[in-house]
A and B are shown apart, each in its own frame.
Chain A
Amino acid sequence: NAGVTQTPKFQVLKTGQSMTLQCAQDMNHNSMYWYRQDPGMGLRLIYYSASEGTTDKGEVPNGYNVSRLNKREFSLRLESAAPSQTSVYFCASSVTRTRDEQYFGPGTRLTVT
């Protein structure tokens, strides 16, 4: 039981390049989330998926797209990376979207030059 896994662990992009961050969970959770964490800012929600087949914007969705591929997998895509997207990205999952604690993956450290 691996919990929440993310790939890659590290990535360096040039401005304008695109990439997809992958996330998978094996806990049979319904809801999944993408956050970014910047120094002094705390975790900010980018997008979430309350259940398979649905996605919704969070606090900072601009510049990102998501796909809930199936119940296990939730990917985050940067179409045209910008230096402002340099951050640590965490994926999380919970049983449902209401009141439940979330479990986090190990994160992806992304640098955009």
Chain B
Amino acid sequence: RKEVEQDPGPFNVPEGATVAFNCTYSNSASQSFFWYRQDCRKEPKLLMSVYSSGNEDGRFTAQLNRASQYISLLIRDSKLSDSATYLCVVNEKSSYKLIFGSGTRLLVRP
């Protein structure tokens, strides 16, 4: 089983739609969680950290469910510029390394 699993997609949605991605992780001792965004042939860029209480940044909302070991990302009012691959990232507590999921691809169409 992969340490961090994501649906690869692609999720193909119209502008203005709401879309949600989930990610599951295997290490129950993980302590830090992030969502990164990666555009084609570019470096990953931090989108937001995920806190236990959930957090929101504009159109983006992240949630953490420790009991079920998954994190989610909700994007409201999708824009064309949201088209990218979204990487779920979890820290490995025993060695403090970050483990990256393979990413979920989002395509927002006009």
Contact = CB atoms under 8 A, between A and B. Distances in A.
Nearest to A102: B98
Interface of B: 4, 8, 31-32, 34, 42-46, 49, 87, 91, 96-98, 100-103
B43 A42 contact: no
Nearest to B31: A99
A97 B44 contact: no
B44 to A, nearest CB: 5
Closest A-B pairs by Cβ, 8 of them: A104-B43, A42-B102, A43-B100, A99-B32, A98-B96, A97-B96, A42-B100, A101-B46
B46 A99 contact: no
Nearest to A58: B97
Interface residues of A, number: 21
With a 10 A CB-CB cut-off, give which of A41, A42, A48, A99 has the most chain B CB atoms: A42
Given A42-B101, A99-B96, A104 B45 contact: yes
Contacts of A105: 43
A45 B44 contact: no
Contacts of B31: 99
Interface in A55-96: 58, 90
A42 to B, nearest CB: 4
Nearest to B102: A42
Given A42-B102, A90-B43, A90-B44, A101 B34 contact: yes
A15 to B, nearest CB: 25
Contact of A103 (B32, B46, B103): B46
